[in-house]
Amino acid sequence: MIVAILSDIHANFDALSAVGAELARRRPARIYHLGDLAGYNAQPEECIRWAMANAAAGVSGNHDAVACGRATGRNFHAAARKAALWSRDRISPECRDYLSRLPVQRFIEGGALLVHGAPSDPGRYVDSIDQAAQELSTLFASVATGPIFFGHTHAAGGFVRRVDGRVEPVPAKEFRMLPGERALLNPGSVGQPRDRDRDASFLLFDTVDGTATWVRVPYDVEAARRKVLESGLPREFADRLRDGT
């Protein structure tokens, strides 16, 4: 069975609409998200409602926690907090309730685990081999028989711990976890990629043979940028869409 894993949509409905069209073409059995439906961009309501209608399940991101009032965002940098609070003030009670009910982790088919940031801490970034090695030694990694899908860094790819204990990076192309291995796989960001490729990113996971395949989808970046600028959100978020950083 093929499932789709999406992360860090961040209120970018132009990117999400393009990804949705690609998903309709590929027809995965289920869609899951790794959180951060809100924040940064200008259409949180539309993105959350899309997730409510199309995702089988998901987990909460740190921006979602602020947008539903579960967290204050005081540990965010100023512009990020402004955007998260902007989302909070513009989403409906139904969307706020949906965000408030998202768990911080969830197991799915194939023994895979969904988290937003790190298995040990949903707010922690995993963006180095040393950090990945630490996370792959946690209880959650030992319990997960399939890959751990994580987001938060907005960079597609991941890390694998080989049977001999070596931890290596996983390029965002195609990857199959072999028996005895453990892997952290990041689908990349739908709404604000930071790996210098501004196309929206997600991955497909075959729960039978354990293969993950990354997919990039072009979308109307300029339309999304205009909405950010017209909304009064910080300009830096429009620039990040343009630059993929």
- Give 178's DSSP letter: P
Rounded to two decimals, what is the model's pTM?
0.96
Cα(67)–Cα(211) distance, integer angstroms? 34
| Dist. CA 113–CA 93, nearest whole Å | 29
Beta strands in the chain (DSSP E): 2-6, 30-33, 57-58, 105-107, 113-115, 148-149, 157-161, 167-170, 174-176, 182-186, 200-206, 211-217
pLDDT at 140 over 80: no
Tokens of 55: 């995702």
pLDDT in tens, 206-242: 999 999 999 999 999 999 999 999 999 999 999 999 9
Mean pLDDT in residue range 56-71: 98
